[in-house]
Chain A
């Protein structure tokens, strides 16, 4: 098990290094002169030169890369051009909000998706199945930028139960988490249903029934755990997206997270910040994937007790 975890961390490190290099190159892949793009065509040559020096763009590429990587190891991501603040500090302000929203949305999604998918699979072809899958189709089809305002309209403006936007107190997280959670749950529920259907056809389910176990025990103990692997892969991918900042939902609800920061930085052409945000999004995918691999092992003894290959 320890070997397995170590090998997963090792491969993650390699990926992180690769991603960092790619993100660094991003600024060099922008067509035209990045400095001109940031300052606009009317900027004075002196200002341009100052920015170029500030960004280190006057150095040879390899030197820049080395510089960038050494800073990165020391958690120094440079400075925001507009806010004149270290980017690490900017991110540190935003990350907790994003993580909070991501985790709460995830819990909402799982709480909806697993019962919904399980009922649909067990009662396959029944009205329950149709209802669950109908809900799921509904959730997949509705974009977040429509679902968000709809929830605000009903629950904030008409019923006045939750604040319209911002992040103040516990109640403010409900609507954005519902928006993100239902969207995630819709896809997850489908996945739970299809993998559980497959598992329920396996021989060991017949064995479990032959033991005289009740249907709930059969599905819960013997079915769901075996059906979880593909579901966890999907949860991992979705959580990766959420941790990078749910750009649209954060904007709709003025949620002070990384997604909002990314949008602002793009609007203001604050390249170092954009770069840092892209890096953060990539990193969150890598981290979540390592985590998913570990969860796999916890669930499936064939992975845990194999030699980590």
Chain B
């Protein structure tokens, strides 16, 4: 076919360091046809972003010219172009949007100026003509009030709006190819759904091709025509979307599918990929995945697998599919089953009643209180011993504040938290401190939640000393060693510093730290959202295992519905500081009543399109918790709102003995 737009041939990109040369992009070849969407899929560090930056020649300084191979845009090799000529390609024929809309826009320039720059540079538009085109672009990406927004600054816009502006900047040059580097990873699911819809619509209108860089199988499933899977700098599998989802070939691709948590896998441990990605600063004489592969045999350790092309541009880099090599693969072990016959004792551990956390807003010279942020407003919930309650909702809905309010890391304004019979809100500082051993917290970001200047052993031991656990330093060390082994680390890791560990390992250390004081409940605040899916599987397995062993209760704060489906017993859905629906995990996920829950669930991209129930798209962003809308907080965005919704906040209605919903429809 001659309609190939971009052809990447044997692209190599490397970084030089004292350890040697690391080929972060290693002999990568693929092509993108006009109007097509092609995805590079892989976990962090696999080289997918570096491939995109190499195409744009926007590599970080230390690797700016470390490229070889060919990047052919309609037959013209971009790598041979001088920088000045490359500038007429960037933003014009190939545009790019990035993962972090929060930091990708210049904070001191207005939205209009930032879009106008591209028009001036590539289209020669200035003044009124430019302004008219900017307004057109803002309309095209779904920004309300474009004539007003044009003079606003990025900090006045929400995250979803900023990503729309980024898309408008990219569209301004009428590009043939749009490179989207994790365009929705930093956004909430409802906003993600909006942005993905927008990209699809624009692609249909403009006929541009899209190179989508993502780690999310579900996004791939919903958006792309063909996909290339990257591992350790190489493409290990390439297939059309349908072929890939029907039958992933490379063992790594298969593992990626198996590692995704879901309702159906509740009774088994998630597949994990043992070990870590190999260091790229070496010469490979074996398959890069061999050490982690469940099928590998001696050939895999001795010979680099070649690229095996199948029909219809399908291909895979694996000895399993090489007819010239005798297949001596091991038989894959069956995933171990862990009985999670819910250890529900019915014994109440934590009861939160009418909890409120309001933050005053100070204004003016005299700092008088001008209003409140109703971060948590009248929330009641219950967690039983050994059970997991998942708290879901979009960012800013107050779920983290609720978690902190429960364990008294922020002082609640009103309400009570009964834990083991005592009201935590009434305890003095000293009483509270001695009770802290019963409730612990694990934070979202394992990179910043540990003191970088303390050794791992000291981090774990600190809580034990504070709570008087272990009679001597020697006794405590024994416990620390046990804990480290329990979370899958080695005792000698005790004397290392946090930066020496990977993200998943760090989160294990955080789990060990929480466990050290024998808690009864752990508040897990998005503990896996900063981690890759295969690493997430390890942490979820660990948590599930520990729960069974110690009758631990979890309050699991997350926005990831598939994690909820896999792990939770009960679910509470939060919107603007209030719980709008709660029930058992089956009730809420399979029989959602509240329109917000329904919308949230339908916004989650799924791997199999057929299972999708009715699609409910939310418009706009969640309102601010400073001035929540009158009546039901959700009514301005609710597709099913009736008159009552505008005037009165709905009372909680009972659907079943465990299922409650706050909605006028029921």
Q: Could you list which residues of chain A lie within 8 angstroms of chain B, going by C-beta atoms?
A: 7, 10, 124, 202-204, 206-214, 217, 221-222, 225-226, 299-302, 305, 307, 309
One of B110, B118, B156 near A211 (C-beta < 8 A): B118
- Give chain B residues whose Cβ lies under 8 Å from the Cβ of A202: 103
User: Is the CB–CB distance between A302 and B106 below 8 Å?
Assistant: no
Q: Which single residue of chain A is at the shortest CB-CB distance from B362?
A: A309
Q: What residues on A are CB-neighbors of B98 within 8 Å?
A: 203, 206-207
Q: How far is the CB of A118 from chain B (nearest CB, A)?
A: 16
On whether A207 and B104 interact (CB within 8 A), knowing A212-B92, A309-B362, the answer reads: yes
Q: What's the minimum C-beta distance from A9 to chain B, rounded to whole angstroms?
A: 11
CB-based contact B106/A222 at 8 Å? yes
Give the chain B neighbours of A226 by CB distance below 8 A: 106-108
Contact (Cβ within 8 A) B91 A212: yes
Evaluate contact between A211 and B365: CB separation under 8 angstroms.
Answer: no
B56 CB–A CB distance under 8 Å: yes
4 new A-B contacts, CB < 8 A, other than A204-B104, A212-B121, A213-B121, are A210-B96, A212-B88, A225-B108, A307-B363
Please name the residue on chain B nearest to A301 by beta carbon. B153
Closest to A300 in B: B108
Contact: A204 with B363, CB < 8 Å? no
Residues of B within 8 A of A10 (CB): 365
**CB within 8 Å for A209 and B90 given contacts A301-B153, A305-B153:** yes
Contact across chains for B106 and A208 when beta carbons are under 8 A apart: yes
Q: Which B residues contact A (CB, under 8 angstroms)?
A: 56, 58, 61, 87-92, 95-96, 98, 100, 103-110, 117-118, 121-122, 153, 155-156, 166, 169, 173, 362-363, 365
Max chain B C-beta neighbours (<10 A), residue from A206, A211, A300, A305: A211
A130 shortest CB reach to chain B, Å: 17
What are 28 sample pairs from A and B whose C-beta atoms fall under 8 A apart? A7-B365, A203-B98, A203-B104, A204-B104, A204-B106, A207-B104, A207-B105, A207-B106, A209-B58, A210-B58, A210-B90, A210-B95, A211-B90, A212-B90, A212-B118, A212-B122, A213-B117, A214-B87, A221-B117, A225-B109, A226-B108, A299-B108, A300-B107, A300-B108, A301-B110, A307-B363, A309-B362, A309-B363
The reply to whether A211 and B169 contact each other, CB–CB distance below 8 Å, is yes
C-alpha spacing A222/B166, complex, angstroms = 16
Smallest beta-carbon distance B319→chain A, Å: 39
Asked if A301 and B155 sit within 8 Å, CB to CB, the answer is: yes
Instruction: Chain A residues near B58: list those with CB within 8 A.
Output: 206, 209-210
Given known pairs A203-B98, A301-B153, the reply for A212 and B108 (CB within 8 Å) is no
Q: By the criterion CB–CB under 8 Å, are B100 and A213 in contact?
A: no
**B residues near A212, Cβ cutoff 8 Å:** 87-92, 118, 121-122, 173
Question: Which residues in A have their C-beta under 8 angstroms from that of B91?
Answer: 210-213
CB distance from B626 to the nearest CB of A (A): 12
**Which has the most chain B C-beta neighbours within 10 Å: A7, A207, A214, A301?**
A207
Kindly report which residue of chain A lies nearest to residue B153, judged by CB atoms: A301
Bound complex: CA A299 to CA B106 (Å):
12
CB of B419 to closest CB in A, whole Å: 37
Given contacts A7-B365, A213-B117, A225-B108, contact A203 B88 (CB under 8 A): no
* Nearest chain A CB to B134 CB, angstrom units: 14
Give CA–CA (A214, B117) in the complex, Å. 11
Chain A residues within 8 Å of B107, by CB: 204, 226, 300-302
A305, B156: Cβ atoms closer than 8 Å: yes
Q: Which residues of B contact A208 (CB under 8 A)?
A: 106, 117
Which residues of chain A are near B108, meaning CB under 8 Å? 225-226, 299-301
How close is A272's CB to chain B, nearest CB, in angstroms? 35
Taken together as a complex, chains A and B put the C-alpha atoms of A208 and B56 apart, in Å, by 12
* C-alpha spacing A222/B106, complex, angstroms: 7
Shortest Cβ gap from B510 to chain A (Å)? 27
Which residues of the other chain, B, contact A210 by a CB distance below 8 angstroms?
56, 58, 90-91, 95-96
Nearest chain-A residue to B367 (Cβ)?
Answer: A309
Q: Report the minimal beta-carbon distance from A25 to chain B, rounded to whole angstroms.
A: 27
In the assembled complex, the CB of A7 is this many whole angstroms from the nearest CB of chain B, namely 6
Question: Closest Cβ of chain B: how far from A14's Cβ, in Å?
Answer: 10
Report Cα–Cα, A301/B157, bound state, in Å.
13
Contact of A213 among B87, B89, B155 (CB under 8 A): B87
Whole-angstrom distance between the alpha carbons of A217 and B155 in the complex? 22
Residues of chain A lying within 8 A (CB to CB) of residue B153: 301-302, 305
What are the residues of chain B within 8 A of A124 when measuring CB–CB? 61
| Bound Cα distance from A221 to B121, whole angstroms | 14
B121 touches A204 (CB 8 A): no
Complex CA distance for A299 and B108, rounded to whole angstroms? 7
In the complex, the answer to whether B88 meets A207 with C-beta atoms within 8 Å is: no
| Residues in A neighbouring B104, C-beta threshold 8 A | 203-204, 206-207
Determine the residue in chain B with the shortest Cβ distance to A228.
B108
Residue of A nearest to B99 (CB): A203
Question: Nearest A residue to B103 by beta-carbon distance?
Answer: A203
Which residues from A are CB-within-8-Å of B169?
207, 211
The 8 Å CB contact of B121, one of A211, A299, A300, A305, is A211
Chain B residue contacts of A217, Cβ below 8 A: 117
